[in-house]
Structure 1
């Protein structure tokens, strides 16, 4: 997998690159590609030196055909989970729109593994007045993609966790959102 600063339509499936797939659309000119190491390396080797691109350190080619061998086993494992209605509103990486019951459906999570992540659509859906975004993940990569909505990351790679989380809570308070200070 690799992050590439190109629009999705410029990632072509051609014989030259094998079956390279767009695993995620993070913005108008920001995608993640997925495929074999050879396919990704070949594609990256054709890019102009001005196109930002970097390989991702991952164990598998997620959100691509390479996940298909595990889908049935994953679907079977999901039968052991009791799903409940989310307490907070959410946005789907599969549709890019608001969640409306999908998260209770085990098949949704199977589709999620195989589908292209539509994060750019999530950004549009979440970019509404009075909304702030807290990124929960290993680093603040995706929160940087929000340009019209305040966003912050709860964790930053190689930074103290408590400091980073408290900094994020401070951002949330500064945006005018309610913070449960005794809980903090």
Structure 2
């Protein structure tokens, strides 16, 4: 019927109770992660609020995989603070389409499209929506 679908090679459903079966294994694998406060604020899609990074340890990342994605809460908080342009940094953007029409949202990479060319195409999408990049940073030699 023209619907594109692809089987994801995992044996659990992310963001559901199925992840609970992986708690011990993930805790062991993620145990070396040492969180610390960063210099750039992060609007967490786990908590829906600003986090400094100091609590982003193994437990945080397990909860991130297990819990509901609070993308809308994070974007709403950012929009309330005056941010209106968003770039979804992921191998295939799927969340940008759920944003309100009054914000600019573009992806970074797309399935089977990576590298500088894809990033510049995404930048072009932002430009079409009125974003003015720092061109000297994008094309240092003019």
- Length-normalised TM-score, structure 2: 0.72
* Whole-angstrom CA distance in 2 between matches of 1:79 and 1:141: 29
Return closer, same or farther for 1:90/1:123 CA change in 2, 3 Å cut-off.
same
Query: 1:111: which partner in 2?
Result: 63
* Whole-angstrom CA distance in 2 between matches of 1:153 and 1:170: 11
Give the one of 143, 147, 151 matched to 2:105. Answer: 151
Shift of 1:137: 1.3
Report Cα offsets for 1:108-140 as digits up to 9, x if no partner: 112112111112212212324344211111223
Return closer, same or farther for 1:171/1:178 CA change in 2, 3 Å cut-off.
farther
Aligned length: 131
Asked whether 1:57 is paired with 2:7, we answer: yes
RMSD over aligned CA atoms reads 2.9
* Whole-angstrom CA distance in 1 between matches of 2:123 and 2:39: 20
More strand by share: 1
**Correspondence 1:48-127 to 2 at 5 A:** 57-58=7-8, 59=10, 60-101=12-53, 103-127=55-79
* Whole-angstrom CA distance in 1 between matches of 2:98 and 2:107: 12
